[in-house]
Structure 1
Amino acid sequence: MLREAGTRIGMIAIEPATRRRIRLNGTSSPEADGVRIALDQVIGNCPKYLQKRDHILLPPDRGGRRTAVRRGAELTTVQQLTLATSDSFFIATASPDGDADASHRGGNPGFLQVLSPTRLRWPDYAGNAMFLTLGNLELHPQAGLLVPDWETGDLLQLSGTAHTVWDGAEAAAVPGAQRIVEFRIEAVQETRDAVRLRWSDPDFSRFNPPVAPG
């Protein structure tokens, strides 16, 4: 897909050690040695809700071996625990015209709630007020989530649909939430030892709202 000319691409470049992140959206074109992205949007985001971490790059024989891939239509018990204790994930959305975007969501462990093996919800905290993610979801609810395991290098990919709950009363029950986003899972892929990077324990963002006891 990436090597097809004209594919719309949404990316995010993130440096946890400095809490820097930039969203990069554009169009792909194949090259002899890879893919070139012609950018039409470069958006700097603030460091809110991004946990600070330092990284270690393991040698190829110790990391990034992709030792197992598991696919399914719902979360296993272990995967549910992974999500319920996560402090970060990434969400991919697109407009009805196919303009793609990728964004980061973060908070204290527990901010991402597992309602069932096929349903998640999370608070939408105050951000950059551009509403790229929420705007896309209003018009095109298909979305993908990427949840990294910073310690093991495992990756959990979820595909499904999302919608925003704009009811202020419901958001008021969740500390720091301005809105609530609910996600219904349609497909799950877990890749063990997917990347060579390993990360230190997090230094949690001072902007993270408290998480109400579940």
Structure 2
Amino acid sequence: MATYHSGEIAVQERAGLARQAGFSLGGIGESVPPVARDFLAEQPMIVLGAADRDGRLWATQLTGEAGFLRVPDPRTVLVDALPLPLDPLADVLTGPSAVRVGMIAVEPATRRRMRINGRARREGDGLRVDLDQVIANCPKYLQKRDHHRAGPAEGGAAEPTVTAGTALGPAQQRAVRAADTFFVATASDRGDADASHRGGNPGFVQVLSPTLLRWPDYAGNAMFLTLGNLQLNASAGLLFPDWATGTTLHLSGTARTVWDAEQIAGVPGAQRLVEFSVEAVREITAASPLRWTSPGYSRFNPPVG
């Protein structure tokens, strides 16, 4: 039976949406229905969140040809891909031990998405994920894009390179300010991981300093799975994909929810704010072979002040 943990319940109650969240429980299951199985089989990308060997949370992406995500039975997902050696989660996802992961598959062309949480273990050249949660999500704030695989002229054969640090450089700050999409990985106090999507018009993520970001929490499905985890465990990881070049910007740090009414009122559409303190940065060029078109912005995106 689907249930909420104490952090999720606390945020739902503080937001005054506990009753609405109760209805949302119908969107949380333990197995993949046939329509979701077919959806996964069509996807070329999945985002995954987990903790590294030092306990830092990161978000990353795995890619493949359509069919690289398979559902051999309703409680299992097979991923025919492993992270790049330069990836912040490469060590744990290619090791012998099971890892608690949160995953989200998005299809920007149709604005569909679904979340899958469970325990991943390497199996050959991929991952076997035993499922704990399968979560349906609404399409709000997801920008419409189509994709193709990069050819040689687009850097499709380029060797990945990595830049690491503890703060955002000037170009990375510009990339974050221009972003209309990012993904966030969180975990409960028990370590159960989750990965979610955040979207808005460019500028919805504010760079307050090289080590501090802030974004609005818009009206959603009232589950508060991300904010509920942050209520119990401040660790978080962010992934900013460069849709045009295949570069990925990975951030790890801590996050907190801001409930101050005066600060919230200054951000159009915000129900709450989230502040993220950057502790580790890893930027990987040529991380993805996928190239995506310019976005068609969601009609639900609030204006950016």
Superposed pair shares fold, TM > 0.5? yes
Q: Which has the higher contact order (CA 8 A, sep 6+)?
A: 1
- TM-score, normalising length from structure 1? 0.95
The Cα offsets for residues 191-212 of structure 1, whole Å up to 9 and x where unpaired, read as 1111110010100000000000
Equivalent of residue 267 in structure 2, options 174, 182, 192:
174
Equivalent of residue 166 in structure 2, options 66, 73, 83:
73
The Cα offsets for residues 155-190 of structure 1, whole Å up to 9 and x where unpaired, read as 000010000001222212111000000000001111
Question: SS of the counterpart of 1:152?
Answer: coil
Measure, in 2, the Cα distance between the counterparts of 1:165 and 1:90. Answer: 19
Question: SS of the counterpart of 2:262?
Answer: helix
Residue identity matched to 2:218? Y
Measure, in 2, the Cα distance between the counterparts of 1:158 and 1:134. Answer: 18
Question: SS of the counterpart of 2:164?
Answer: strand
Query: Corresponding residue for 2:137?
Result: 45
Query: Corresponding residue for 1:139?
Result: 232
Q: CA deviation at 1:30?
A: 3.2
- TM-score, normalising length from structure 2? 0.67
Q: CA deviation at 1:40?
A: 1.4
Residue identity matched to 2:256? H
Gapped regions of structure 1 (runs ≥ 5): none
| Structure 1 residue 165 corresponds to structure 2 residue 258 | yes
Stretch deviating more after TM superposition (175-184 or 2-11)? 2-11
* 4+ runs deviating over 4 angstroms: none
Q: CA deviation at 1:65?
A: 3.3
Q: Which has the larger radius of gyration?
A: 2
Bigger proportion of residues as strand:
1
Equivalent of residue 125 in structure 1, options 218, 223, 226:
218
Query: Corresponding residue for 2:183?
Result: 90
Gapped regions of structure 2 (runs ≥ 5): 1-91
Query: Corresponding residue for 2:50?
Result: none
- RMSD between superposed Cα atoms in Å: 1.4
The Cα offsets for residues 40-75 of structure 1, whole Å up to 9 and x where unpaired, read as 111111110000000011247942634321001111
Bigger proportion of residues as helix:
2
Q: CA deviation at 1:5?
A: 3.8
Query: Corresponding residue for 1:14?
Result: 106
Tell me: CA distance 1:196–1:32, structure 2 relative to 1, closer, same or farther (3 Å): closer
